[in-house]
Amino acid sequence: MCLAVPGKILSMTDADALSRMGRIDFAGVVKEVSLAYVPEAEIGDYVIVHAGFAISVLDQEEAKQSLLAFAEMDAQED
């Protein structure tokens, strides 16, 4: 099963649109992710990330709901 995970953009490189990278916070785990597919993304935005690429921008409410759902699933596993 593939899973796309929401994360918050902490910082971005100033590279051109195709090689722009961002540091993304996934509930305390920070990863480097390509932002090539979301040129409209800005620092502080939430993005959906799949396989190392941000594939869409979420509004803050959508991101909170997604993160809550992931937390609930995690709690059920324990």
Residues 26 and 58: their CA atoms lie apart, in Å, by: 14
Residues 74 and 64: their CA atoms lie apart, in Å, by: 15
Q: How confident is the model at residue 1 (pLDDT cuts 50, 70, 90)?
A: very low
- Asked whether the predicted pLDDT for residue 69 surpasses 60, the reply is yes
**Enclosing domain of residue 9:** 5-77
- Asked whether the predicted pLDDT for residue 73 surpasses 80, the reply is no
- Asked whether the predicted pLDDT for residue 48 surpasses 80, the reply is yes
- What are the Cα distances from residue 58, in Å, to 18, 47, 76, 77, 78? 20, 6, 25, 26, 28
CATH number of the CATH domain containing 35: 2.30.30.140
pTM of the model: 0.81
Our count of domains for the chain comes to: 1
3-state SS string for 34-70: ECCCCCCCCCCCEEEEECCEEEEEECHHHHHHHHHHH
